[in-house]
Amino acid sequence: MLRRMRLREIGVGLVALAALTACSEDPKATSDLVVTERDAGTDFRALWTYRSFDVDVDLTLVTRVTDDDCSTTSHLAVNDALSGADSHDLGATPCTTLRLGEDGDIVLDDSPTGIDWTAIDLAVNTDTEVISLGPASGTDPDTGEAVTYTFTISAPPCGDGTDCDCGVLRRSGGATAPSLGLGRVCD
């Protein structure tokens, strides 16, 4: 039985909700990077979509760079066959914590990967309730060694005896393993 994907406040710019796709058994995934020059600065917008018979996911990550500021927002929409639609937003987050680079790199805690994540499809595991990007091969900027990176979004139980889930974005691989708390959701 499909469990409800409960991911709240999953910032990282995780995006818009879509309707359940028609009867396709094979998942379909797409991604895109759009760079928009504005009078007040530049927007870097990544959009990942995932469509399957069980669940549709739209994730958007937007970094806005101006002369005075740099912040990142995200929107995540999850529409599963049994539970319906959930939408989660990450408010303006400083670019030192999370940003999307002009090269498509997702930089978490000022730790780049050197990978264009917008060229990598989103994957969804409904059994474990995990959304992921990767694995992708790159070079660790600190050591110069080959490394495999993966980003995951999940909402495990908070572990404090409550009926709450604590969302988190994690990056594995490289000399550091940064993560970003995405808020607490209680039933």
Q: What is the pLDDT of residues 102-111, one digit of tens each?
A: 999 999 999 8
Share of the chain above pLDDT 70, in %: 84
**Dihedral pair phi/psi, residue 149, rounded to 5°:** -105, 150
Sheet containing strand 28-38, strands side by side: 28-38, 41-51, 55-65, 70-80, 84-94
Where are the chain's structural domains? 28-186
Q: Span 70-80, mean pLDDT?
A: 91
Closest CA to 61 of 10, 24, 27, 128: 10
CA distance 61 to 91: 11
> Which pLDDT score, from 0 to 100, does residue 26 have?
63
Residues 133-155 pLDDT 10s: 999 998 887 788 899 999 999 88
> Which pLDDT score, from 0 to 100, does residue 22 have?
32
Q: Which two tokens stand for residue 47?
A: 């959009």
Q: DSSP letter for 106, please.
A: E
Residues 163-180 pLDDT 10s: 888 888 999 987 778 889
CA distance 57 to 75: 11
Q: Which residues contact 74 (CB under 8 A, 6 or more apart)?
A: 10, 11, 12, 13, 14, 15, 59, 60, 61, 62, 89, 90
